[in-house]
């Protein structure tokens, strides 16, 4: 089926075709009829599945032309909000519909002007929107379409109280679309008061990384983690790579050391200013920076074309984050590679990821890299919990293939 076959507005079809897309993705095939017929929906889909267009195209079709603020989309992070706003604008380019963005980290002035002038589609993060609701600048009394995107992420970030307050300001008579990669118990109650007879759409096994991503684990001793990363970057033909770390401090540290080695590096984490975050993303997208070091703030939903490699410098502590992180590559129909560096201390996290995705991940050695220890390739020798506190990294254990660094 093509986009024309669903009863989407001609201008919307033109908009999506101008993006170069010819066939709807599976989640779009399922979502279009539900949303166009006025139903609530609860969606879970792998990242990079075309989720944004799945709700944007039917909503734009129903909006048709200018009016009051009739559609509100809530996103957990500024970057995601900006990305979804851009997508709406792209799809609406042949329509007379306005789209606006409201998020924290920047001045209030322009956003206040925007809200005063009025927009048809408002994409927002919860905190800043509440500020504007509090002082009366934002009015949500005309909302007909409410989209709550990446709701499990909002839960993780502690946004649920804000989301509830916002939803209370939106008319009860509306159409609600709810997207969440996972459905923790806290969200089940939320879906009950939020949605009316929702249709559930689940695309693919939500726990599995996309088929277009090849992923592997690279065991290494803690002392050699950074060396292995550098060797990977040297030996791999990559167009652009995202390196994930578990903490902001580690992101800065890795970025700093890579810069010392003359790599061009962008850094993205929540302690950076809005301007720095925007520069990092724009520079990475344009190819100015070959690598971007990021914390999980960048893992969810960000759509960065042409990411050929994802490297996990630290193993994610939550298994779902593994799927999200490696979902940054191999988006839509492109093929990507994801490497996860791990040390004995991270073995438990690796095991829980494998349990979560329901399969084991291939262990690989980097050809030509001089490993100090190779015992990690024989995991049966690693006790649960790694080598334990008080035991110096890998040294207190019996390591068969221990060699001296030359
Ligand atoms: P999303 O899951 O919404 O982040 O979308 C992932 C990527 O797929 C984005 O680059 C979209 O622009 C792109 N995309 C959306 N719909 C389609 C489609 N029907 N065919 C190919 N790519 C698409």
Q: Do 3-203 and 213-400 fold alike per CATH?
A: yes
3-state SS of 110-164 is HHHHHHHHCCCEEEECHHHHHHHHHCCCCCCCCCCEEEECCHHHHHHCCCHHHHH
**Topology of the domain covering 3-203:** Rossmann fold (3.40.50)
Could you tell me if the CB of 332 is within 6 A of ligand 1? yes
Domain 213-400 annotated CATH 3.40.50.300: yes
Q: Which helix (H) or strand (E) holds 283?
A: helix 274-286
- Per-residue pLDDT of the chain (406 residues), as tens digits, is 899 999 999 999 999 999 989 889 889 999 999 999 999 999 987 667 789 999 999 999 999 999 999 999 999 999 999 999 999 999 999 999 999 999 999 999 999 999 999 999 999 999 999 999 999 999 999 999 999 998 988 988 889 999 999 999 999 999 999 998 777 778 888 898 899 999 998 875 556 666 777 889 999 999 999 999 999 999 888 888 999 999 999 999 999 999 999 999 999 988 888 889 889 989 998 999 999 999 987 666 677 766 888 999 999 988 878 888 887 776 665 667 889 999 999 999 999 898 888 888 999 999 999 998 766 666 665 655 554 433 332 222 222 222 333 3
Distances (CA, A) of 191 to 25, 44, 185, 200, 299: 25, 13, 10, 11, 24
Of the residues 22, 48, 53, which should be mutated to test ligand 1's pocket, given the most ligand atoms within 8 Å of the CB?
A: 53
Ligand 1 mean position, distance from CA 25 (Å)? 8
Could you tell me if the CB of 48 is within 6 A of ligand 1? yes
Predicted pLDDT at 299 = 62
Residue with the smallest CA separation from ligand 1 atom 11 is 50
Residue 215, classed as helix, strand or coil, is strand
Q: Where are the chain's structural domains? A: 3-203, 213-400
Could you tell me if the CB of 128 is within 6 A of ligand 1? no
Cβ-contact 321, 246 below 8 angstroms: no
Could you tell me if the CB of 44 is within 6 A of ligand 1? no
Rounded to a whole number of angstroms, the CA Rg of the chain reads 23
Ligand 1 mean position, distance from CA 320 (Å)? 21
Measured from the Cβ of residue 306, the count of other Cβ atoms closer than 10 Å reads 13
Strands 175-179 and 213-219: unpaired
Model pTM greater than 0.85? no
Q: What's the token pair of residue 94? A: 């042949």
Residue with the smallest CA separation from ligand 1 atom 17 is 50
Question: Could you give the CA distance from residue 310 to residue 38 in angstroms, rounded to a whole number?
Answer: 39
Predicted pLDDT at 381 = 59
Nearest CA-CA partner of 243 in 165, 316, 146, 185: 316
């Amino acid at each position: 089926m093509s986009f024309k076959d669903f009863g989407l507005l001609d201008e919307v079809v033109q908009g999506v075709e101008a993006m170069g897309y010819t066939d709807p993705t599976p989640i779009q095939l399922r979502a279009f009829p539900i949303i166009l017929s006025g139903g609530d929906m609860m969606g879970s889909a792998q990242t990079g599945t075309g989720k944004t267009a799945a709700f944007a195209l039917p909503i734009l079709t129903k909006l048709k032309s200018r009016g009051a603020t009739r559609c509100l989309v809530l996103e957990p992070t500024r970057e995601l909000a900006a990305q979804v706003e851009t997508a709406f604008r792209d799809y609406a380019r042949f329509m007379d519909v306005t789209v606006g963005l409201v998020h924290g980290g920047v001045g209030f002035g322009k956003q206040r002007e925007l809200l005063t002038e009025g927009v048809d589609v408002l994409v927002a993060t919860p905190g800043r929107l509440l500020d504007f609701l509090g002082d009366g600048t934002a009015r949500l009394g005309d909302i007909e379409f409410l989209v709550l995107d990446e709701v499990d992420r909002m839960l993780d970030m502690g946004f649920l109280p804000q989301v509830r307050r916002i939803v209370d300001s939106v008319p009860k008579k509306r159409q609600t679309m709810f997207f969440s990669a996972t459905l923790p118990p806290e969200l089940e109650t939320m879906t009950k008061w939020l949605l009316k007879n929702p249709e559930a759409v689940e695309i693919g096994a939500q726990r599995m990384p996309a088929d277009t991503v090849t992923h592997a684990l690279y065991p290494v001793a803690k002392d050699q983690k950074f060396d292995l990363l550098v060797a990977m970057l040297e030996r791999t033909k990559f167009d652009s790579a995202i390196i994930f770390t578990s903490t902001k401090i580690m992101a800065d540290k890795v970025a700093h050391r890579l810069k010392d080695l003359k790599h061009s590096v962008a850094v993205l984490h929540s302690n950076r200013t809005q301007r720095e975050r925007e520069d990092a993303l724009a520079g990475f997208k344009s190819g100015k920076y070959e690598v971007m070091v990021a914390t999980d703030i960048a893992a969810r939903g960000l759509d960065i074309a042409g990411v050929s490699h994802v490297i996990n410098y630290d193993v994610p502590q939550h298994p779902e984050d593994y799927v999200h992180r490696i979902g940054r590559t191999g988006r839509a129909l492109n093929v990507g590679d994801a490497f996860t560096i791990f040390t004995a201390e991270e073995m438990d996290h690796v095991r829980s990821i494998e349990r979560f995705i329901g399969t084991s991940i291939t262990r690989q050695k980097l050809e030509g890299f001089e490993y100090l220890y190779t015992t990690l390739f024989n995991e049966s020798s690693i006790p649960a919990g790694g080598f334990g506190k008080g035991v110096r990294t890998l040294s207190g254990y019996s390591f068969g293939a221990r060699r001296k660094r030359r």
